[in-house]
């Protein structure tokens, strides 16, 4: 246990959680070997500490240690970054270049966000794991490398394999030993300890007294879900340290720095905003098209029943469909009044409505389109490019509509 505490001090790891201690013990045990290791856990839990521990306690500690963020390298260049390339192998390759696997020969490579690797790169990586060989981009000559690979991911690998985004054989080669780091919400006893450490660090950095939490604030901190884990907690401590004048933080003050939600889902934002135009448009179109379908059903049913000569049934069905359109729930919810049809309409009026429905339908849709175009142009100060983007149409189409409707 004393060795574990010394390890934590050396690498700046705070906490005494059982799951955390188990992960560190596994890292210490696997370090002297050349076994591939996969570190799993949510984003922000500190996965980058494990490969550093493994490398520093291994026989490779005097050789190179290279950390590669696989998710930050574009797909078109990642093979060149990892395995190198020959001069002239692609546009811009003006000279030979060594890749990370060649540079780190004899050392350790940490592949962060390994779940983001393209499938073609996964095939190359599998070859390195199987026989220590790789081929530079643009070359046909295999090269040998002696590299220890430690990978990390916050992706659900089982799900990625099922969706064919990650090779199953590569997963099993990478995860000879799997080390899982717990989320911060599962380390309840460590949360306040970490906060105090971060507060002390920032007090020293910014040369000010350290902030402290009252009892209510501590309870709020311990019950918060921390979807961003340790990274979020650290940012929280820094914000409060810099912004707040008082060094004693109350529960009410702490709540101002925490998102409204206490879970992983984003907070629900209520109310209507200026940028809700696209959403309004989608709702309007849906309602109008649903109404058109109802009206078409009304026309078809009426014609069928008129052919059969059953006028009473025609009147009954007409009234039911008209009532459905008139009292449409979505129209009422969005305060849209498209049709104003008397509830006690006569058979003659029903027929008049059916005869003119195609013209009314066309005019209604056209009027709404003109209204939406005007609204978007006004909102974007008559800038057609922005208005077209908001309306979800091309600038050319918008220009044609402006000329068509003489706007």
- The pLDDT confidence band at residue 37, using thresholds 50, 70 and 90, is very high
pLDDT score at 221: 95
In 3D, which of 360, 364, 233, 351 has the Cα closest to residue 303?
Answer: 351
pLDDT score at 180: 97
- The pLDDT confidence band at residue 347, using thresholds 50, 70 and 90, is very low
Q: Work out the percent of the chain whose per-residue pLDDT is above 90.
A: 60
| Residue range 338-346: mean pLDDT, rounded | 46
In a domain, 264, yes or no: no
CB-based contact 108:60 (threshold 8 Å): yes
| Residue range 48-76: mean pLDDT, rounded | 95
pLDDT score at 93: 85
Indicate the number of domains in the chain. Answer: 3
Task: Looking at the structure, tell me whether residues 53 and 103 fall in a common domain.
Answer: yes
| Residue range 377-393: mean pLDDT, rounded | 80
Residue 309 vs residue 272, higher pLDDT:
309
Task: Looking at the structure, tell me whether residues 64 and 153 fall in a common domain.
Answer: yes
In a domain, 261, yes or no: no
pLDDT score at 158: 93
In a domain, 210, yes or no: yes
Task: Looking at the structure, tell me whether residues 152 and 24 fall in a common domain.
Answer: yes
- The pLDDT confidence band at residue 281, using thresholds 50, 70 and 90, is low
Task: Looking at the structure, tell me whether residues 57 and 93 fall in a common domain.
Answer: yes
Task: Looking at the structure, tell me whether residues 32 and 113 fall in a common domain.
Answer: yes
- Boundary residue ending a domain (132, 165, 182): 182
| Residue range 271-278: mean pLDDT, rounded | 42
**Choice among 210-219, 276-285, 366-375, 381-390 with the minimum mean pLDDT:** 276-285
Task: Looking at the structure, tell me whether residues 52 and 156 fall in a common domain.
Answer: yes
pLDDT score at 287: 64
User: How many whole angstroms separate alpha carbon 268 and alpha carbon 290?
Assistant: 28
CATH number at residue 249: 1.10.8.60
Tell me, yes or no, if the pTM score tops 0.85: no
pLDDT score at 275: 43
352-371 confidence digits (pLDDT tens) = 444 444 445 455 567 777 88
Q: Per-residue pLDDT for 271 more than 70? A: no
Task: Looking at the structure, tell me whether residues 176 and 43 fall in a common domain.
Answer: yes
Q: Which two tokens stand for residue 85?
A: 């390339």
The residue with tokens 């910014």 is 206
Residue 347 vs residue 302, higher pLDDT:
302
- The pLDDT confidence band at residue 214, using thresholds 50, 70 and 90, is very high
Going by their DSSP bridges, the two strands 108-112 and 65-69 should be labelled as parallel
Task: Looking at the structure, tell me whether residues 76 and 45 fall in a common domain.
Answer: yes
In a domain, 266, yes or no: no
Q: Per-residue pLDDT for 337 more than 70? A: no
Task: Looking at the structure, tell me whether residues 174 and 301 fall in a common domain.
Answer: no
Domain that holds residue 283: 274-404
pLDDT score at 380: 80
Residues in the chain: 407
| Residue range 198-203: mean pLDDT, rounded | 95
pLDDT score at 177: 96
pLDDT score at 318: 59
Task: Looking at the structure, tell me whether residues 392 and 373 fall in a common domain.
Answer: yes
pLDDT score at 329: 47
3-state secondary structure of 228: coil
Task: Looking at the structure, tell me whether residues 288 and 380 fall in a common domain.
Answer: yes
Q: Give the chain's mean pLDDT.
A: 82
Residue 143 has φ and ψ, to the nearest 5°, of -125, 150
User: How many whole angstroms separate alpha carbon 83 and alpha carbon 121?
Assistant: 10
- The pLDDT confidence band at residue 124, using thresholds 50, 70 and 90, is very high
In a domain, 107, yes or no: yes
- Boundary residue ending a domain (164, 182, 200): 182
In a domain, 267, yes or no: no
Integer CA distances (angstroms), 246 to 198, 213, 233, in order: 17, 11, 19
In 3D, which of 91, 64, 63 has the Cα closest to residue 76?
Answer: 91
In a domain, 50, yes or no: yes
Going by their DSSP bridges, the two strands 133-135 and 142-144 should be labelled as antiparallel
Q: Per-residue pLDDT for 268 more than 80? A: no
Contact residues for 45 (Cβ-Cβ < 8 A; gap 6+): 181, 182, 183, 184, 229, 230
Q: Per-residue pLDDT for 162 more than 80? A: yes
Task: Looking at the structure, tell me whether residues 285 and 368 fall in a common domain.
Answer: yes
Residue 385 vs residue 264, higher pLDDT:
385
| Residue range 100-108: mean pLDDT, rounded | 97
pLDDT score at 314: 55
pLDDT score at 385: 80
How many C-beta neighbours within 10 Å does residue 182 have? 19
| Residue range 136-147: mean pLDDT, rounded | 94
Q: Per-residue pLDDT for 167 more than 90? A: yes
Please tell me the chain's helix, strand, coil percentages from 3-state DSSP, rounded to the nearest 5.
55, 10, 35
In a domain, 280, yes or no: yes
- The pLDDT confidence band at residue 273, using thresholds 50, 70 and 90, is very low
318-329 confidence digits (pLDDT tens) = 566 555 555 554
| Residue range 69-88: mean pLDDT, rounded | 93
User: How many whole angstroms separate alpha carbon 268 and alpha carbon 71?
Assistant: 29
- Boundary residue ending a domain (182, 200, 233): 182
DSSP single-letter state for residue 184: G
CATH number at residue 62: 3.40.50.300
């Amino acid at each position: 246990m004393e060795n574990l505490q010394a390890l934590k001090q050396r690498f700046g790891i705070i906490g005494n959680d059982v799951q955390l201690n188990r992960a560190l013990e596994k890292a210490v045990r696997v370090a002297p070997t050349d076994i591939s290791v996969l570190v799993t856990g949510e984003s922000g839990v500190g996965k980058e500490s494990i490969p550093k521990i493994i490398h520093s306690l291994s026989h490779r500690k005097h050789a190179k240690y290279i950390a590669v963020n696989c998710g930050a390298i574009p797909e078109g260049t990642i093979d060149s970054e990892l395995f190198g390339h020959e001069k002239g192998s692609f546009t811009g390759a003006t000279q030979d270049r060594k890749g990370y696997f060649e540079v780190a020969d004899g050392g350790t490579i940490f592949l962060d966000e390994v779940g983001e690797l393209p499938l073609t790169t996964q095939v190359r990586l599998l070859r390195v794991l199987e026989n220590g060989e790789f081929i530079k981009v643009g070359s046909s000559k295999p090269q040998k490398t002696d590299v220890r690979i430690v990978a990390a991911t916050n992706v659900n690998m089982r799900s990625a394999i099922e969706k064919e985004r990650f090779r199953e054989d590569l997963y099993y080669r990478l995860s000879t030993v799997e080390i899982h780091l717990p989320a911060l919400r599962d380390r309840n006893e460590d949360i306040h300890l970490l906060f105090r450490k971060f507060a002390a660090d920032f007090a020293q950095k910014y040369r000010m007294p350290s902030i402290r939490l009252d009892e209510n604030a501590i309870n709020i901190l311990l019950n918060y879900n921390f979807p961003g884990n340790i990274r979020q907690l650290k940012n929280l401590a820094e914000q409060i340290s810099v912004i707040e004048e008082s060094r004693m933080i109350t529960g009410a003050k702490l709540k101002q720095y925490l998102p409204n939600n206490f879970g992983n889902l984003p907070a629900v934002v209520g109310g209507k905003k200026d940028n809700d135009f696209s959403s309004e448009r989608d709702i309007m179109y849906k309602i109008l098209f649903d109404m058109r379908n109802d009206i078409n059903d009304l026309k078809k049913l009426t014609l069928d029943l008129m052919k059969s000569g059953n006028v009473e049934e025609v009147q009954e069905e007409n009234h039911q469909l008209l009532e459905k359109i008139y009292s449409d729930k979505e129209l009422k919810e969005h305060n849209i009044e498209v049709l104003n049809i008397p509830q006690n309409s006569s058979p003659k009026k029903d027929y008049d409505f059916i005869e003119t429905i195609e013209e009314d339908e066309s005019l209604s849709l056209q009027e709404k389109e003109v209204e939406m175009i005007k609204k978007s142009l006004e909102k974007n100060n008559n800038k057609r490019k922005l208005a077209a983007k908001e309306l979800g149409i091309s600038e050319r189409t918008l220009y044609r509509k402006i000329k068509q409707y003489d706007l």
